[in-house]
Every structure is written in C-alpha cells, then in structure tokens.
C-alpha cells in the first residue's frame, strides 16, 4: 500500500513487518521516534515482541547479543553518542557472528554537542565487522532494513543501516509498503547454527589462545567478502518481488561521465539535480552513490571509477589526521588499477554537525574540480579559513 | 550412609549427586567460587543457561574448545551480565522456551562496580532472571585489585600496606532491597543447603532475584587452601557475613543465628588482614555488632509493615490475539 | 563436537564455540600433597585394652543391625557381657563426644550387646589339622582358645579349678559378675569348639613337656593366682586370710562367717571385692591402704559403691604387726604413712612416719596386697627366660607363648582379653608357618584435634543417669534389661571418629569434582589426575578419616 512516512516511521514499519522478536533500545535524538513507535506497537499488540527498555546503549547491544544468541530476531537503533557508547559491544556482536540489525541515525559527535546530520558516528565504527549501508530515501530505508535481516542471517554478520539525522529521519516521503505476506515469504526463518541450545550445551565466547584466534577473525573477513554477492542476490530477489532494487552502488548518468561525484545518503539525492544541470552545460558529470560501504565494494568501485578524468569524493566525516574515510578507501581501492586508469581524486569534507550541503554547494564543488581549482587533496567546504596561510 | 546417623550429624550434607561440572577446570586449588557454581548447578539442573561475564569463572571454565560446564554458557562482556541475561530470557521467551532457567553468574567486580548500572536497571525493570554474585571481595581474575566489595582493612594489589582499603564494603543486598527487588539473599559456600534452598526459592518467584554468595579465594585472601570452607564458615559465625534474605525489599528474615565468635578467628586465617592494628580489628568488631543491630531493626520493622499498595506487581500481559496494524489492511 | 585440530578453515566454527569436556586437562599434575582415605584408630579403641573395634560395632548397632553388632563384637572378644560389667571402661574417658553432649555409654552398650544372645552361631573356619594346648582357663587363656578355635585349630584348655573362668569365677564376686552370665559366655566358647579339661593341673596331672609333645603350640595363661605374702609378724595366724583365696571359697559356695571387724589390706579391686563380700556375710570390713584414695588402683566406681555400701576406709596406714591373744586376733598394729616422692609406678611412694604406730581393733585380717604368678610347672629354661622378662607373648619361643598377666602383668580382665587376642594372632600365624608379625598393624592414632568439630552438633546422652556410679553399678544384675531403643539411640551418638561412614562430605566440598562415588555401592575414590591437592576434603572430613600425604 502507498503511504507517507518519515524515515524513522519507515524503520519502525520494517521492524514490525519482519516480525522482530526482541528489541533492546535506548532513546537518543534523532532516533527517538523509532523507539517510541515500536513501544506503541508492542503495547498495543501490533508487534509481538519483547522490548527491553534498557538504561544505556551499551546495554542495548548487550541485550540484543543475549537475545540473538538464543536464535531470536533482534533489532536496535541509535545515533551518535549512543553508537559510540556501544562500540565495545559492536565488536562483540560481529565477533559472535550474530545477525542483529541496527539502524543508526547519523548524527555528529560531541563535544560541541551536536544533534544534526553527520556521518562521523557510523564511520568511526567501520572496523567493527558490521555491515554498513547508507540510504538516501525513506523507501530505501524500509527496503534496506528488510534486506538487512535477510543478508545478516545468511552471512551471520550484523547490519547497520544509516539514515541522515533529520534530513531523512524526520522527512516525510510517499512510499510503498508491501503486504505482510510478501515479507514473510521473503525472509527465511532465522537460524543461528551456534545458538544457545539446551540439547547441545556449549560455551559461547570463551577465551581463545593465540594459536586459534586468528581463524575466527579471518572468517569474519571472508564472510564480508561473501556478503558482497549476497547483497546483490538479495537485492535481485527483492527486485523481483517489489520492482525496486538498489545495488551496491547507485550510478546516475555514469556511462560517459568524466567528472564523477561520489557521495552517500541525502546529499547524493540532491546531487542528481546538480548532475542534470551540469550536463545541460555540456559538462560530462555523473553521480556514483556509495550505498554498501561494508563490505567495501572495491571491484565495483574500480569498475565504475577507472579511467574517469576527475573524481570528487564527498565525506560527511573526517578521520582526523588523514582526510575523510570514503576518500581514503576509494583511493586505496583505485590503487589496484594500473596507473594509467587512475582518475584525479579530490576529497571534500562538508556538512559536519548538520551544516547544510546545498545543490549550489555540490555544483560549486564539481565545477571547481572540473576547472582544476581544487588544488588541495582535501578541501574543508564552507568553513572559516585560517588567518595564517601555512 | 545410615540415614539415622544424619540426625546427630546435621552438618552432613543433603545435596544432589547429579554433576553438571566436569573436573579438569582451571580454578586455583581450593577455589570457593567454583564450588559455589558446582553446588548451584546441582539445584538449577540441566535446563539452565548460564550467562558469564568476564570473571574468574570465565577463565576457569576452560579455553576454547573446552568447557567445564554441562549447561549452555554465554560468555559476555564484563559489565553486561544482567542485561545479557535479560536478553537471553527475552529471546528464549519469544521462542516459547519459558521453562529454561536463565542465570547470570558474575563476580563482585562485574556486579558491584562495572556492571552496577546494568544490574540496577535489570532489577528496576524486574527482568525475570536469577543473578548470583559470587563475591571473593576483589578483582581476583586480573590479579587481586580492590573492588567496592573489598572489606575495610583488606590488602589488595591496589590497596597495599600503607594504603589498605579505607572504605567499607558496599552493601549490595541493601541497595537492591531499596529497588524493591522481589527476592534478594546472602549465602555462603559453607552453608550449601541454605544456598540451595535460596536458589530453589528464587526460581519459584517471577522477576529479578539476587543472591550474594560469599566465596573464599585462597590466592587473593592469602589463606591456606584447605581452610576455604572453614574461613567461609567463620565469616558467618563471627557475624561478618550475615545469612539473611529480604523479600519485596522490606521483609527481612535472618536465616542463621551466628555464634558471634571473636572476629580475630576469622581475620587471622587470611593474610590479607595481617596488616591490621589492634584498633582496626576492634573497629571491625564494633562495626559487625552495629550492622547486626541494624539488620535486626530491619527485621522488626519489616514484620510490622504490610505490602504497600503500589507494589502490586504488574505483569505485562501478552496479547492473546495480536492486533493488526492499520498498514496491514489492504 | 568442535574439531579439536582443524586442518582447514571450514572446520573452525564461526565463533568461539566450546563443547569439549575439560577432562583431558590433567590439573592434578602440579600438586605435591594429595589426600587419601585413611581410617584412624578412634580414641576409644585406642584406649580399650581388649582391642574392641568399637566404632564399627556401634556403626552396626546404630543402623539397627543388632545381630551384626553382636557378631562383630564376639568375633574378637568372647567376654562382652563380662567386660560390660567388670571393665574400668577407659574407652568412655577418651570418647570425643565428651565435649559435644557427653561421652558415649560404651561400657553399657558392651553389656547390652554381650547380654544379647547371638541368633546365629559364630562362623568357624574349616579345620586346619593343627592343635593348641592352653594352660589356664582364665580370660586370657579362654580368649586365645576361642579365637584359635574359630580359626579352625583344635584347642584344648587345661585348668586346675573345677569350673572354667579363672578369676572371673573365683576372683570377682557374684554381685559384680553374676555367674550365670559367665556360664552363658563360656557356653558360647564351647560351641566354638574349645575343649575344656578342668581339674587338671599342669605339673601335677599332666607334665608341661607332654603338652609340648602333644600340641603344635602351647599357650601359658596361668595368671597370677598366688597371693603375695604378707610380711608382717603374725601373718601365719589362722584368721589371716588371703584375698583371692577368700573370694574363691566364697565363689565355691562355702558358707563362711568372719564376724566382727575385719581389716582388708590393699587398694586394688581384690581388696574392694573382698570388703564388699565381707559386708555380705555379716562382717564389718575396713580397708587399710598405705596411700590415699587417689592412688588406689581399684576402679573408682567400685570404690564409690563400696563407700556407699558402708565399707570403711583407713588411708595412709600400713600394717606393722598382727596383735594376737592366744589364737584370736585382737588388733592390727599399723604405722601411719605420708606420701613422698613418686616411685616406679609413678605414684607417690608411702613413707613411714616413725613412732606413729596405732592399733586397729580387728578380729581378722585379709591380705589383698597383690597376686603373683606360680609357674613351677614350666621347665627351668623357660621359667628363667620368663623371669628375665623375655617378651614371649609376641614371638614364638620354641612354640611356647605367654598370655594374660604372666605376659603383661597388667592385672585387668580387659588387658587379659587383649593379650589373648594378640597371642591368638601370633599363634595362628605360627601354625600356618608364617613369620610372626613383630607389631600388629596399627592404624594411625587419632588425636582429638583431627576431628572436625565444626561438622558436629551436640547430642546429649539419652540416659545421663547412667554415669552415676550407683546407677552404673546397679545394672550389674542380670535382671536389669536395657532397652534396644536406648542402645540404638546411644550408638547413634557415636561420632565414628577416624572411621569413614560415607557421609559424602568430602565429595560435596571438592571444588574440582575430583572425588567420585563408585556406581555400585558407595565406595569413594579420588581422581588423582585432576585433584589439585587443596586439602579441603581432609580438613572438612567430620571424622578425620582422611589424610594428606606427599605425592610419590
């Protein structure tokens, strides 16, 4: 059915329709309405789930781990400080190979206490072993959460689905909700092979000596590599059912593009208009939206970006001391290509703490790149300049 | 043994002979904590999931791929015993396995300190779990550092001679009683039948149940291994560790009237107390007497109180027939 | 189960999943001390001169197995009914229950079990074809004869009195040991296969050498039946008696009358028995003893009884002269004594006070100042060796063994029974051609502190009145029947010191699950591969029936 939902509302519906069994969550702006809607659905009986109203995000993830270890379908959501607090347990969930699904509403980290859109929180967790997907529309959020439940349980890795704070979480969109029967048919019954089982008593998570530890970690990495194919497969299956598919990367007017903007989330959605505009002015622009960030789709990226003239990578975060994360990772992937295929890559750090990235900003970025006016490898966009030029 | 003999040997133990622990675990010789777990599992039985945070037991259970325990065990991060157990409970309940016990088994570190927040929250939510804190009165697993459960005057590696623990032991049962916990009790490995009874009683009560189990640690207490039980017994008989239970946070019952032996008898068997001056020992003795006065006052006041109206327990109902969401109507 | 030694990544589980029991981790390899089950001699058995296996007997009795208890008691002791009346019960004084509600009435229990006729006859081993001759049908001789007969040997006992029993018959009055009780016990000895030849004096009716020729082994258990002479002027007089003679005549039924005050010299059980016997024939006895009551070797309960019955005592006096008037005795002149330094017996020696003579008006004197052996029948070489103190009761001396007072000089029935037991064991080994054991294997003694008092609760005696001397002595009569209920209840108070009774405390207290209960029966075993030697089991054993020993 067609309806109008905001991003957070789409999340709540997806969690409900996936018949999630255990939710452990703690409110934090701008995720709060997810938690509130889920609580309402549980109280009213519309969602048959156990909702543990935990006292901190660290406990959110710990509670999910406990529940997922029994083989139950689990979910949580958080943002910013909450995600940071969860950090220890994110490592734990991935190491325990549990198919937990979490929505992270991207928000900046304090201090300066920020409530607004910023990807620093999720980017800082890219090493934890979680799969990470960035969404640009409410429809995509809904579809991705459902897909995440399926991919996670196939590869036994937890998924983190991102939506921009306020820009997507609180923005209403018209979208299509499938019938419950379609979701039930799409999602396989959850099976965690190493789950807690009274009939097969075992200890999960005991001490592992150096001579045995690395194999577990290698298997996580291999699962990520396997997951690339699974994301595509599941996406295709979803497409067959709903007509919607998203892929690992979302390409817009890329066939003959020489100037490419690589972006994620809502700025990518704004960028389509900019690409169209530049094309009108005979500039061969294209947009590459990075959707699945972990596992990192290196091959697809190289395919898409090899032999382009100029690539501008937009980061809404910074790995202090060494540029934005997306910028670094894309350049490192491109290094595998022969030097002749390497495009010129420029990084832009913009939008931290919710500072708006407008269509004008994006057009300016691309034009400057095209006109060789982006001299620095990385440019902090729309910020006060330094008094002393070093 | 002759059953009649039991009448005149009341301390001959009437405990199950079912074992749910293998030999070959890595505990120190004379470890009181392991004995506590062995006894507890006998009462809990094989349909039990144990949630084990970082603590001695997590190591002694054996490294991968060995497990000394014959029940499913979920080892979890240090501060998460209570919430992990609540998560396991929720997961099992969601799948209809309501007859499986869920028990958090944590040390004093993971209960009194780093796990305190999660424990308080679980108790406030009344999560349906049994939480047993086995208290050896310091962070023993990491090499004998002080915790808030370390008693006044004890030596540890972070409260060495010249800087012995100056703060009194945190009273965890009182803190949880203030939460209105349905059932909280103290127990000692030297009184295994009392401990067993308390586990059985706890498992018959819905909601959060807490047992504070005193265990000896020859390594950390600097005592002789063979005296592990004797020291635990003396802890109770000198009054240092009272055996009592409290229901609904206000109804107190003393389970054992100690002989109130001289506290010296308890202290002198543990090297961690050998730095104490006579004044300090006397202070400890006076404090034990004072705490007993306080405990008895609580028993008396509890007997006078009736159940408060607001404490009628609300058990969230499960919807017999789940309602559908408006979005599902096509 | 998880693959222990994976070869490829696929054999490794997705996450740390452990389901192998920890049994292969041999955690017992670092210890240098380890526990073991080791029953120890309880203080009661340690103190019992007769060697009764008290804790086992009481364990059987406490479970209600009366027959089993009687059989086990009589398996090593033919005189429980006797000893249960005449023994000084050293066992009770050493009972660990003393500090936990009161010592067990072991003596009374022995009497109770001794009075209970066994339902089944005792088990006798198959005949060995070996023969034993025993000189003397006293407690030592009969005990060794009884045990050897049960062991399958053919045993003949030679005794010069008309009836068997030795001092049991002639030296202990009926009011302490009813003769029908004695006869019942002797009947059981005969049933075990012992052949009695009464009225046969070795040295007169049969030569010692003949015994040596006829029998494979000879046991000399002739006892101390000769009175120590009274070296006091006038002691050859008619009305000067010897204690054991007097008792023997009374035991034989002679209607003796010794009117008036009679001085009884001595401080041992004979003197007390004589005094009390004199009371019963109308005399007025007064015991004259050179030390004080404290040093009297007689059983204290008997002393109390004697006092209660009206026997007079005169302490710190020794006879110096018997004063006669014609053939009548008119007085006993005594000298006062004081106590000086301790002598060889460890008691303070009496020292005469010169010039302190006084006269005790008496009409007769009975000397009960000690008994000595009469071994005239022994060949010279053997008797000389005996005089020189050879320990013949333990080792074979050309097939001749000594038992009882002639071997130990200990002077009590219990010691005689104990000696008879040891000799029987030695003779049995000798007859089988084995090397005699120099020492009986003795269990490690148990000291009271090895008992874990934390594990014990107080349990008061079911009949505290039992310990009052008057009551204790009252039940000498065979008409006093002590109830089974009391006996079982009292036996249940036995702590079982040093004796494992499978209470399973060690099993329950072990943190390492290293003590196993055998699937059949209830034997306990220690898994030494995993036991870390912490010692909790030994410390917590309520009965001290475990020990720590060095590894290897």
pLDDT tens string A249-296: 999 999 999 999 999 999 999 999 999 999 999 999 999 999 999 999
Q: What is the signed CA dihedral for B119, B122, B124, B130, rounded to 10 degrees?
A: -90
Candidates B72, B69, B79; CA nearest to B34 is: B69
Which residues of chain C neighbour A194 with C-beta distances below 8 Å?
13-15, 17
Here the ipTM equals 0.94
Buried b / exposed e over C108-143, threshold 16 CB at 10 Å, is bbbbbbbbbeeeeebeeeeeeebbbbbbbbbbbbbb
Whether A2-242 and A250-380 share one fold: the answer is yes
Nearest CA in chain C to B215: C511
> What are the angstrom distances between the C-alpha of B64 and each of A75, A288, B75, C542?
29, 45, 12, 39
pLDDT category at C98 given cuts 50, 70, 90 is confident
Contact residues for A334 (Cβ-Cβ < 8 A; gap 6+): A301, A302, A305, A306, A341, A342, A343, A345
Picking from A53, A63, A180, the nearest residue to B87 by CB comes out as A63
Candidates A342, A350, A341, A336; CA nearest to A378 is: A350
Picking from A193, A215, A223, the nearest residue to C12 by CB comes out as A215
Picking from C16, C18, C19, the nearest residue to A216 by CB comes out as C16
Cβ contact (<8 Å) for C14 and A194? yes
Contact residues for B93 (Cβ-Cβ < 8 A; gap 6+): A50, B128
CATH architecture of A2-242: 3-Layer(aba) Sandwich (3.40)
Residue B161, classified by CB atoms within 10 Å of its CB into exposed (0-12), middle (13-18) or buried (19+), is exposed
CATH number of C43-120+460-492: 1.10.1060.10
Q: Does residue C504 sit at the B interface (CB-CB below 8 Å)?
A: yes
CATH architecture of C131-225+373-431: 3-Layer(bba) Sandwich (3.50)
Which residues of chain C neighbour B12 with C-beta distances below 8 Å?
455, 503-505, 542
State the DSSP string of B272-285: GGTT--HHHHHHHH
Nearest CA in chain C to A95: C15
SS3 C441: coil
- Strand-pairing partners, residue B107, are B134
- Strand-pairing partners, residue A289, are A250, A263
Cβ contact (<8 Å) for A205 and C9? no
How many degrees, rounded to 5, is the angle at CA B201 between CA B198 and CA B206? 125
What is chain C's Cα-based Rg? 29
**Max CA separation in chain C (angstroms):** 123
Interval A150-162 mean pLDDT: 98
Boundaries of every domain in chain A: 2-242, 250-380
Homologous superfamily in CATH for domain C244-370: FAD/NAD(P)-binding domain (3.50.50.60)
**Cα separation, B236 vs B245, whole angstroms:** 14
Torsion B142-B148-B149-B155 (CA) sign = positive
Distance of residue A51 Cα from the nearest chain B Cα, in angstroms: 8
Whether C43-120+460-492 and C244-370 share one fold: the answer is no
Helices (H), chain A: 7-17, 32-44, 57-69, 80-85, 87-95, 120-123, 138-155, 180-186, 210-242, 265-280, 298-305, 325-334, 359-370
**Cα separation, C457 vs B11, whole angstroms:** 8
Cβ contact (<8 Å) for B92 and A70? yes
Please check whether residue B200 is in contact with residue B121, taking contact to mean a CB–CB distance below 8 angstroms. Answer: no
Q: What is the pLDDT of residues C464-479, one digit of tens each?
A: 556 655 555 554 443 3
**Cα separation, A83 vs A28, whole angstroms:** 10
**A-interface mutation test, from C9, C11, C17, C22, most A Cβ less than 10 A away:** C17
Boundaries of every domain in chain C: 43-120+460-492, 131-225+373-431, 244-370
Which residues of chain A neighbour C13 with C-beta distances below 8 Å?
194
Cβ contact (<8 Å) for C539 and B15? no
Tens-of-pLDDT digits for all 330 residues of chain B? 333 343 444 446 788 889 999 999 999 999 999 999 999 999 999 999 999 999 999 999 999 999 999 999 999 999 999 999 999 999 999 999 999 999 999 999 999 999 999 999 999 999 999 999 999 999 999 999 999 999 999 999 999 999 999 999 999 999 999 999 999 999 999 999 999 999 999 999 999 999 999 999 999 999 999 999 999 999 999 999 999 999 999 999 999 999 999 999 999 999 999 999 999 999 999 999 999 999 999 999 999 887 776 665 666 555 556 788 888 875
CATH architecture of B16-306: 3-Layer(aba) Sandwich (3.40)
What is chain A's Cα-based Rg? 21
Candidates B327, B78, B2; CA nearest to A176 is: B327
Query: How would you classify the pairing of strands B209-214 and B251-254?
Result: unpaired
Distance of residue B128 Cα from the nearest chain C Cα, in angstroms: 26
Which residues of chain B neighbour C4 with C-beta distances below 8 Å?
65
Picking from A49, A196, A212, the nearest residue to B49 by CB comes out as A196
Q: What pTM was estimated for this model as a whole?
A: 0.87
CATH number of A250-380: 3.40.50.920
Which residues of chain C neighbour A203 with C-beta distances below 8 Å?
17-19
């Amino acid at each position: 059915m067609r309806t109008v939902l905001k991003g957070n509302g789409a999340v709540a519906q997806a969690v409900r329709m996936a018949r999630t069994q255990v939710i452990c969550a703690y409110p934090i702006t701008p995720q709060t309405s997810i938690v509130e809607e889920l609580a309402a659905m549980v109280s009213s009986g519309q969602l048959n789930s156990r909702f543990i109203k935990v006292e901190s995000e660290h406990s959110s993830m710990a509670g999910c781990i406990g529940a997922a270890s029994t083989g139950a379908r689990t979910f949580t959501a958080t943002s910013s400080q909450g995600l940071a607090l969860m950090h220890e347990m994110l490592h734990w969930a991935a190491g325990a190979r549990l198919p937990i699904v979490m929505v992270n509403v991207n928000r900046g980290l304090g201090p300066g206490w920020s409530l607004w859109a910023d990807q620093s929180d999720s980017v800082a967790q890219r090493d934890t072993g979680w799969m990470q997907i960035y969404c640009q529309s409410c429809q995509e959020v809904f579809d991705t959460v459902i897909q995440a439940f399926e991919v996670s349980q196939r590869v036994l890795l937890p998924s983190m689905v991102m939506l921009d704070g306020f820009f997507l979480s609180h923005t209403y969109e018209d979208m299509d909700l499938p019938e419950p029967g379609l979701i039930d048919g799409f999602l396989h019954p959850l099976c965690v092979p190493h789950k807690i089982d009274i009939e097969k008593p075992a200890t999960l998570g005991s001490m592992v000596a150096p001579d045995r530890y690395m194999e577990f970690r290698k298997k996580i990495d291999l699962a990520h590599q396997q997951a690339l194919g699974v994301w595509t497969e599941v996406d295709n299956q979803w497409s067959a059912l709903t007509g919607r598919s998203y892929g690992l990367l979302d390409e817009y007017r890329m066939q003959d593009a020489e100037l490419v903007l690589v972006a994620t989330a809502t700025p990518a959605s704004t960028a389509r208009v900019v690409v169209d505009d530049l094309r009108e002015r005979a500039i061969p622009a294209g947009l590459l939206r990075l959707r699945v960030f972990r596992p990192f789709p290196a091959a697809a990226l190289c395919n898409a970006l090899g032999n382009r003239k100029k690539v501008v990578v937009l980061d809404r975060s910074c790995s202090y001391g060494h540029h934005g994360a997306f910028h670094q990772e894309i350049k490192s992937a491109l290094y595998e290509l022969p030097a002749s295929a390497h495009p010129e890559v420029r990084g832009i750090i913009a939008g931290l703490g919710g500072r708006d990235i407008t269509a004008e900003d994006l057009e300016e970025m691309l034009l400057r790149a095209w006109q060789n006016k982006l001299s620095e490898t990385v440019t902090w966009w729309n910020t006060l300049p330094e008094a002393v030029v070093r | 043994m002759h059953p009649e003999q039991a009448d005149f040997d009341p301390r001959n133990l009437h405990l199950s002979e079912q074992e749910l622990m293998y030999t070959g675990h890595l505990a120190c010789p004379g470890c009181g904590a392991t004995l506590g777990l062995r006894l507890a599992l006998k009462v809990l039985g094989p349909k039990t999931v144990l949630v084990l945070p970082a603590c001695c037991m997590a190591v002694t259970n054996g490294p991968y791929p060995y497990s000394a325990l014959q029940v499913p065990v979920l080892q979890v991060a240090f501060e998460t015993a209570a919430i992990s157990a609540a998560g396991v409970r929720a997961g099992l309940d969601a799948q209809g396995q309501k007859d499986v016990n869920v028990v958090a088994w944590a040390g004093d570190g993971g209960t009194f300190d780093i796990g305190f927040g999660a424990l308080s929250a679980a108790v406030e939510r009344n999560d349906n779990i049994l939480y047993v804190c086995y208290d050896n009165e310091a962070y023993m697993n990491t090499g004998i550092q002080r915790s808030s459960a370390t008693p006044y005057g004890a030596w540890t590696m972070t409260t060495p001679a010249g800087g012995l623990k100056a703060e009194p032991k945190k009273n965890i049962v009182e803190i949880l009683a203030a939460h209105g916990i349905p059932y909280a009790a103290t127990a000692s490995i030297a009184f295994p039948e009392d401990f067993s009874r308390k586990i059985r009683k706890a498992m018959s009560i819905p909601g959060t149940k807490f047992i504070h189990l005193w265990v000896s640690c020859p390594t950390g207490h600097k005592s002789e291994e063979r005296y592990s039980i004797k020291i635990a017994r003396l802890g109770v008989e000198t009054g240092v560790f009272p055996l009592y239970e409290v229901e609904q946070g206000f109804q107190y019952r003393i389970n054992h009237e100690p002989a109130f032996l001289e506290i010296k008898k308890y202290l002198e068997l543990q090297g961690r107390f050998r730095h104490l001056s006579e004044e300090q020992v006397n202070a400890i003795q006076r404090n034990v007497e004072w705490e007993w006065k306080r405990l008895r006052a609580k028993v008396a006041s509890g007997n006078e109180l009736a159940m408060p109206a607001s404490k009628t327990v609300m058990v969230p109902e499960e919807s017999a027939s789940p309602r559908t969401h408006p979005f599902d109507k096509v | 189960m998880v693959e222990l030694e994976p070869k490829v990544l696929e054999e490794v589980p997705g996450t740390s999943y452990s389901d192998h029991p920890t049994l292969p981790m041999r955690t017992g390899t670092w210890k240098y001390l380890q526990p073991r089950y080791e029953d120890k001699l309880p203080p009661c058995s340690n103190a019992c001169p007769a060697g009764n296996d008290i804790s086992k007997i009481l364990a059987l009795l406490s479970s209600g197995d009366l027959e089993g208890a009687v059989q086990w008691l009589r398996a090593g002791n033919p005189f429980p009914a006797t000893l249960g009346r005449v023994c000084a019960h050293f066992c009770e004084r050493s009972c660990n229950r003393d500090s936990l509600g009161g010592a067990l009435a072991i003596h009374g229990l022995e009497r109770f079990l001794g009075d209970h006729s066994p339902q089944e006859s005792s088990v006798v081993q198959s005949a060995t074809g070996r023969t034993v001759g025993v000189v003397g049908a006293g407690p030592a001789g009969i005990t060794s004869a009884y045990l050897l007969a049960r062991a399958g040997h053919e045993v003949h006992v030679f005794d010069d009195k008309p009836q068997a029993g030795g001092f049991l018959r002639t030296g202990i009055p009926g009011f302490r040991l009813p003769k029908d009780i004695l006869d019942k016990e002797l009947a059981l000895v005969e049933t075990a296969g012992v052949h009695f030849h009464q009225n046969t004096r070795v040295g007169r009716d049969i030569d010692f050498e003949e015994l040596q020729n006829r029998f494979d082994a000879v046991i000399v258990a002739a006892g101390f039946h000769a009175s120590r002479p009274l070296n006091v002027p006038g002691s050859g007089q008619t009305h000067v008696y010897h204690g054991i003679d007097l008792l023997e005549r009374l035991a034989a039924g002679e209607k003796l009358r010794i009117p008036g005050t009679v001085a009884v010299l001595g401080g041992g059980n004979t003197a007390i028995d004589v005094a009390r016997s004199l009371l019963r024939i109308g005399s007025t006895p007064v015991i004259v003893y050179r030390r004080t009551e404290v040093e009297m070797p007689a059983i204290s309960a008997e002393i109390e009884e004697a006092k209660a019955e009206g026997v007079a005592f005169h302490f710190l006096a020794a006879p110096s002269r018997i004063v006669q008037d014609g053939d009548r005795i008119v007085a006993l002149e005594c000298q006062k004594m004081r106590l000086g330094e301790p002598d060889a017996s460890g008691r303070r020696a009496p020292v005469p006070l010169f010039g302190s003579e006084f006269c005790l008006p008496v009409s007769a004197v009975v000397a009960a100042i000690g008994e000595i052996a009469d071994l005239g029948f022994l060949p010279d070489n053997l008797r000389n060796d005996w005089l020189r103190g050879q320990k013949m009761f333990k080792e074979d001396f050309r097939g001749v063994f000594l038992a009882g007072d002639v071997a130990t000089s200990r002077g009590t029935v219990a010691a005689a029974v104990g000696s008879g037991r040891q000799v029987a064991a030695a003779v049995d080994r000798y007859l089988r051609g084995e090397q005699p054991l120099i020492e009986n294997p003795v269990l490690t003694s148990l000291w009271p502190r090895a008992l874990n008092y934390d594990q014990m609760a107080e349990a008061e005696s079911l009949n505290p009145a039992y310990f009052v001397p008057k009551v204790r002595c009252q039940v000498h009569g065979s008409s006093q029947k002590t109830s089974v209920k009391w006996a079982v209840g009292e036996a249940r108070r036995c702590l079982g010191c040093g004796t494992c009774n499978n209470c399973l405390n060690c099993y329950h207290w072990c943190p390492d699950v290293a003590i196993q209960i055998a699937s059949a029966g209830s034997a306990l075993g220690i898994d030494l591969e995993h036991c870390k030697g912490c010692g909790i089991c030994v410390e917590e054993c309520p009965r001290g029936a475990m020990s720590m020993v060095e590894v290897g």
